[in-house]
Amino acid sequence: MIDVNKIRLAALQMASGPQVSANLIEAGRLIEKAAENGARLAVLPENFALMGLQDTDKLAAGEQPGQGPIQDFLAHAAEKAKLWLVGGTLPLRAADGKVRASSLVFDAHGNQVGRYDKIHLFDVNVPGTQECYQESDTVEAGTHALVLDTPFGRLGVAICYDIRFPELFRQMLADGLDLLAIPSAFTARTGAAHWELLVRTRSVENLCYTVAANQGGFHVNGRETFGHSMIVDPWGKILASHAQGAGVVMAEFDPDHLQRVRQAFPALQHRKLLAGNHSHP
């Protein structure tokens, strides 16, 4: 029996490919599995609906905001599963022929209640590899953070490379952040070095729960992603994780524990911003 008083969170890990229809079938299976196990919030990974053979594939799959098969799928899946859903990312058309990497949030009735567009774009040559990414060639950067009310507290959304920029999360914290969703597609190389470190750090420094849903596996386009999707509590404890391949990571969100940690260890009340403080040689 599922305890309806417990707030269960789910991070959904995928190894998405170049066929949108196949990816949606797999995402639907994982959402259904999470719902069967009592999830009230599920988070899909970045690029869940499309890991194209080339970066420009996302332009062809781009949807107008408010209409399109990927958005229809997310709304229907949330309503059918009766859970809140953070829809990883999907390409929404923007200016100059580019797209936004958008994460849409749906409530348990299938209503879109939030949208976050990835702010920090991955323009990086990955050290020690031949991998080169230039996300800004096809993606237009977002400009606004997102924190919104849910039945479980204030939910913030960030995407993959955003996790390396702590000032974004401090802005979210000022807006009441309790629970953080981070859809991601970390590379195998950067993930092995930094994924767990960054996810746990964002939880610890903001004393919040984090649901980090990552791509995890080998992709048809030749890329490898790190996986290890995880749910972390405000003290930095990994409550659950999944190493590689598709899977559902589940753990409980305890708002009482969140408040106890914040009261017992009041670091958030001790923050100081020092204006005009410059070091001298």
The answer to whether residue 118 is catalytic is yes
Q: Which position among 118, 135, 140, 224 bears the catalytic label?
A: 118
- Considering 33, 46, 140, 224, which one is annotated as catalytic? 46
**Identified catalytic residue from 135, 160, 208, 224:** 160
Q: Bridge partners of 182? A: 212
What gap in Å lies between CA 240 and CA 136, rounded to an integer?
Answer: 33
pLDDT at position 4 over 90: no
Q: What is the pLDDT of residues 145-186, one digit of tens each?
A: 999 999 999 999 999 999 999 999 999 999 999 999 999 999
- CA angle 187-114-55, nearest 5°? 35
* pTM, two decimal places: 0.95
Would you call 46 a catalytic residue per the annotation?
A: yes
Domain ranges of the chain: 7-269
Angle at 274 between CA 271 and CA 275, to 5 degrees: 140
Q: What is the pLDDT of residues 58-98, one digit of tens each?
A: 999 999 999 999 999 999 999 999 999 999 999 999 988 99
Active site residue 160: yes
7-269: in CATH 3.30.565.10: no
Residue 268 has pLDDT above 80, yes or no: yes
For 182, residues 6+ apart whose C-beta sits below 8 A from its C-beta are 43, 157, 158, 159, 160, 162, 163, 199, 202, 210, 211, 212, 213
**What is the pLDDT at residue 196?**
98
Q: What is the pLDDT of residues 10-69, one digit of tens each?
A: 999 999 999 999 999 999 999 999 999 999 999 999 999 999 999 999 999 999 999 999
